[in-house]
Amino acid sequence: MSTSKKQGVTTGSSGKGGNRGLLKWFVGAVVAVVALGFALAGCSRVSTRPDEVILHYAGGTFEAIAFERCINPSSGATLLGPGDTSYSYPFGQRTFDFSGSEDSESRPISIVSKDNVEMQVAGSATFTLNTDCRTLRQFHERIGLKFGAYSKDSGSSSSGWDKMLNFYFKQPLDRAMDAASQEFEWRKLFNDPAIKQQWEQRVGQLARQFIKETAGADYFCSPNFGGTGDCGDVVLTIQKPEPPESLVNALAAEQAAKAENIAQAQRNAKVRTELESIKDLVGVLGPQGAVLWKAIQDGKVEVIPVPQDGNITISPRRR
């Protein structure tokens, strides 16, 4: 009997321990779920459009911020951890417009010609941001962060992007155009297509050199750059330099005067030809004969044929 009671006590004690273990497991599971809930509450999701690339940086308040990965265009929803940060950059062709239009990034660029005439040049630079992951990260950490050139919300614009373009495109373009324009006179830049073509080629050569020097690396590539291989060159489209309106008007007046001089010279040449013709007539017919010939040519004198019998009948003209 005593053995049976001890066994019963033992059995009862084992059941209570099992309940306590189950309770501990349940409490642990609840704590884990709550912790997971708090963790998920600090998470976020990002997805990319076809024309953007996102840089993902992990870390935040309690740990060092470190680069995690690039999220390519047209990627589905990606989970970011608590405190993680994403930076959006454009993928594909972009343009720096310096035409001065309402939605352009800049006004036309001023240049000074070889003969010290200030002119205005409008145009655009078409390029692709180098989105090779390693290069884009370098661009972001060296330039993007400084200017705030990124977008924190997918699809939104950034005023820092325009500031960055003005520094890395307008200033090198300004330098390139000024340097190239010092080689040509304003009249030829404005009026001579062959000279304008030479100037455009020189501007393109210098602009690409200065843009790369200013940026420090191949961050700005050709419009057709696909992310790998040769970066290529930025494509420039520039209009004919425009001098001040006063010079344009003066040039138009000068051209009009030249045209009038040419016309007068042609009229003078015609008069000289006629005088030479009259001299020849006088030499052949004499003064009176020349006058009569001229009158006949002008229809002032009527010539009447004389019949063989010599009888001439003259009827007065009816007026």
At residue 289, does pLDDT exceed 50?
yes
At residue 8, does pLDDT exceed 90?
no
Residue pair 227/128 in contact (Cβ under 8 Å)? The answer is: no
Considering the domain boundaries, does residue 12 fall inside one?
Answer: no
Do residues 99 and 122 share a domain?
yes
Considering the domain boundaries, does residue 160 fall inside one?
Answer: yes
Do residues 176 and 118 share a domain?
yes
Q: Which of 23-27, 106-110, 196-200 has the lowest mean pLDDT?
A: 23-27
Instruction: Supply the angle between the helices 171-181 and 193-215 in degrees, to the nearest 10.
Output: 140
Q: What is the CATH number of the domain that holds 102?
A: 3.30.479.30
**Which of 226, 243, 260 is the last residue before a domain boundary?**
243
Considering the domain boundaries, does residue 66 fall inside one?
Answer: yes
Do residues 57 and 101 share a domain?
no
Do residues 157 and 200 share a domain?
yes
Considering the domain boundaries, does residue 18 fall inside one?
Answer: no
- Provide the pLDDT for residue 13: 45
Do residues 225 and 273 share a domain?
no
Amino acid identity at 218 = D
- Provide the pLDDT for residue 7: 42
Do residues 150 and 229 share a domain?
yes
- What sign for the dihedral angle of Cα 244, 248, 254, 255? positive
- Provide the pLDDT for residue 119: 92
Mean pLDDT along residues 85-89: 91
- Provide the pLDDT for residue 11: 41
The per-residue pLDDT for range 188-207, each reduced to its tens digit, is 998 899 999 999 999 999 99
**Which of 211, 227, 243 is the last residue before a domain boundary?**
243
Do residues 271 and 239 share a domain?
no
For 59-198, where are the E strands, in sequence order? 66-71, 78-80, 85-90, 93-97, 109-112, 118-121, 123-129
Q: Which domain holds residue 70?
A: 26-91
Do residues 191 and 145 share a domain?
yes
| CA proximity to 43, closest of 58, 22, 33, 31 | 58
How many domains does the chain divide into? Answer: 3
- Provide the pLDDT for residue 302: 65
Considering the domain boundaries, does residue 19 fall inside one?
Answer: no
- Please report the DSSP string for 191-220 in residue order: H-HHHHHHHHHHHHHHHHHHHHHHHSSS-E
Residue with tokens 């099992």: 18
Considering the domain boundaries, does residue 99 fall inside one?
Answer: yes
Do residues 128 and 239 share a domain?
yes
Q: Which of 69-78, 142-151, 253-262 has the lowest mean pLDDT?
A: 253-262
At residue 269, does pLDDT exceed 50?
yes
Do residues 69 and 124 share a domain?
no
Considering the domain boundaries, does residue 5 fall inside one?
Answer: no
- Provide the pLDDT for residue 264: 66
The per-residue pLDDT for range 154-181, each reduced to its tens digit, is 555 568 999 999 999 999 999 999 999 9
The per-residue pLDDT for range 42-69, each reduced to its tens digit, is 567 777 889 899 999 987 667 788 899 9
Do residues 51 and 154 share a domain?
no
Alpha-carbon distance of 151 to 55, in angstroms, equals: 11
At residue 31, does pLDDT exceed 70?
no
- Provide the pLDDT for residue 284: 75
Confidence of residue 4 (pLDDT cuts 50, 70, 90): very low
Do residues 219 and 261 share a domain?
no
